[in-house]
Structure 1
Amino acid sequence: MEDLKSIILNNLTITGMVQLLTRGKNKTLTVKINGLDIISADARNYSERPMKYGVNVYQGALTIYNFSPKNDSEIKVYAENISLGRRYAPVIGSGVFISGFNDESGKVTIEKLITNDIYSNGMIPTGQPNLITGAIFIVYGAYAKEIISSGSVTTYGTNDMVLDVWGVVDRWITKKKITSYGSSGIGFVNFGKVKSFKAEDVIETYGLGARGFNQYDGTIENAYFKGIKTIGDGSIGMQFSKPVGKITIQEDGVVTEGSTGETLVKGVIKVLNADAINILEGGSIEELNILGNLVTNGEEVVTYHVNGGLVKKLNLRGKILSKNDKSKKVVIENNGQTDMSDISEYIN
C-alpha cells in the first residue's frame, strides 16, 4: 500500500522492541503514540542501520524508520509519554531511534516527541570504532519540530550517545539529568541542524573519552546548558569544530576531572585532552556566555583552549581555574582568535 493511514498506540506496556518500518511502495504513514512503556528490548539484530560519519547505528527499542527511498515518502510522528528500560536494567541497542532513508529522501516529520525516563545500553565492545547507539537519536532524514525530554536520559555502554542529532531539530528541551556511564560516550552530540536546545539540568559523563557536548558537523543556533561535568581521561567538556551561534553555560559551569586519553571521533580512535572548552579549526562561536566557572583537574590539559577556532564574543562571569600545576588556564594557538576582554588575566 502507498498510504498506510494511521497507526495508533495508546497506554501500552511492552516487553520487546516496537519497530515501525516502511519500505518499497510505502509512501505515507501517520504514527500517533500516547503512553508507551517498553520494559526490556534488544534492538541489535537488524540489518537496516544508518551509516554516516564512519559509523553504523543500531536501531532502538522504539524504532520509527522510513526505509523507502522515494522522494515523496513521509512518516509523520506524534509521540508522548515514552518510557524505555529501567535504572540499571536498560533496553539494549538504541533507545528512541527515528530515521529517514537518507538526507534527501524518505523523510520523517516529528510534530511532537515527549519522553519520560530513558535508559539504554548498546552493549558495544570496548574499542569497536564503527558502531554507535543513542538513547534519543534523531537520525538523517528526520525533522523534529519539538522534543521535550521530561525524564532523565541515561546510557551505560561504550560508544553510547545520550542525545544525538544527524537530522534537523527546531526545539529541544531536557528537564532532568543527562548521564553517560560508558567510554567514548557523549552527553549531547550534534551533526545536524538545531535551532534551539536547552538543558535545564546538568550533563554528566563517566568513562574514558566520554565528552559532554560536541559540535562535529551542521550547526546549532542557540544552546543553553545548566552545567557539564566529565570524569575520565580524554573527556572534553565542550568541543566545537563547526560554526555555531549563541552558547550559554549557566551557574554549574564546565568541570573536567581527567587528563589525556583515547576516544572515538567520527569512526576513528583518537587521543584527546580533557579540556573544559576546546574550539578547533573550522569551529566558531558567535557569542559564548559563561556564567559559572570553567575548571580542569587533570594534568596537561587546558581549561579554555582556542585551537585554531574563533570566539567572536565572550562574556565570562565565573572564573577560569586549573587545579593541576602541569595544566594551563588559557591557550590560544594555531591562528585561533577569541574575544580577550574577559580572559586576558588568565593567559599563561
Structure 2
Amino acid sequence: MRRSMKLAAVVLSGSLGIASLAACGAKSDSTSGSSSATAGAGASGLKVGMAYDIGGRGDQSFNDSAARGLDKAKNELGATVYEAEAKTGEAETDKEQRLKDLVSSGYNPVIAVGFVYQDAVNKVAKDNPNVKFAIIDSASADQPTNVTSLTFSEEQGSYLAGVAAALKSTAKHVGFIGGVQSELIKKFEAGYVAGVHSVDPNMKVEVTYLTTPPDFSGFTDPGKGKQAAQGQLDKGADVIYSAAGSSGNGAIEAVAGANKWAIGVDSDQAAQPALQKYSARILTSMVKNVDVAVFKYIESVKNGNPITGVKNFDLKEGGVSLATTGGHIDDIKKQLDEAAAKITSGQTKIPTAPQG
C-alpha cells in the first residue's frame, strides 16, 4: 500500500433506478445520459452519493484519492455509497442532473469532486435545503449554507515538491505541467516555483498548461501530457512535476523513458498499479489527501455534527504530503524537514498565484 510522508512541524514523516441499483451493487448509466455510476450497499442508514470529476475512479490521481475516502466510509462507517461518473465535454445541465438524481434517490450527503461542480452544487443545494452537500476544491461567496467546501493548501505541498526537484536536478532546469490553466492549478505552479527558487533563485522552470477553460480535457489526455513533457525534456529539464490528472500519466511515461525524474500529484503515483512500472523514475508525488477530507466530512455527518462552511486541509493538518515510495528522497529528508517546519511555523509564506 502507499506510504506517504506527512510533513508537519519538524516531522517528515435519479430516482428509483438509482435506489434499486444501490441495493444490488450494479452499474448503470444515469438518467441524464451523461455519466455512469456504481453503487455499493453498507450496513448503516447513512447514504452517501459521490459525483466524480472527469477522469473518475481509476484516474490514478485526484478522483482516486476521493474514492479512497468513500471506500473507507463504506467499510468503517457502514455507509451505503453511490458513485456517479462524469464525461469529458458534458454540459452544465448534466452536472446538475447528476446531483438531482442522487438527491431524489435519498443520498445525503452528496459530495461533488472538483471545482467544475460549483455552479451546479449551488443551484441544486438551494433547491434542496434539507440535503447536505460538500464540494472539493472550491468555495464561493454565494454558496448556500447547506454546502461545505473542502479545500487544500496545494501550494504548501507543491513548495516541498519544488524543493525536492531543485535539490535533485543536475541540469539546474526543471519543469511544471498544469492540466488546465485555472486558479486552482496556478496554486500548484506558484508553490512549486517558489520551492525551486528557495533552493536556487536562478534555476530555470519551464511552465506548460495543456488547456484553458472551458476546455477541461487537459485533465484527461495522457497524450497531451506526454507531448508537453517531451517538449520540456527537449529544452533540458530533468525533473518535471505534473498537476494534470490522468494527463500526468503521459508526462510520467515520457520522463521515465528519458531516465529523468517525474513528480506525481494527488495520489502516491509510484504506488498506483498503472504507473508502478515507472516507479523507479517517480521521485515523489505531492499527495493531496482528499481521502482524509472526504472521510472526515462523512464521519462528521454520521456523528450529527457536520463540518460546515469552508474547511481547509493544510500541511500541518496532513492535508498535503510528499510520498516516499521508492526512497528516492530519503537523502534530502533533512532539507525537506527544515522546509516543512518553516511552513508550519509560519516563517515561510508561500504564494498562491504565480509571481511575475
Higher strand fraction (1 or 2) = 1
TM-score normalised over the length of structure 1: 0.27
Higher helix fraction (1 or 2) = 2
The structure with higher relative contact order (CA 8 Å, sep 6+) is 2
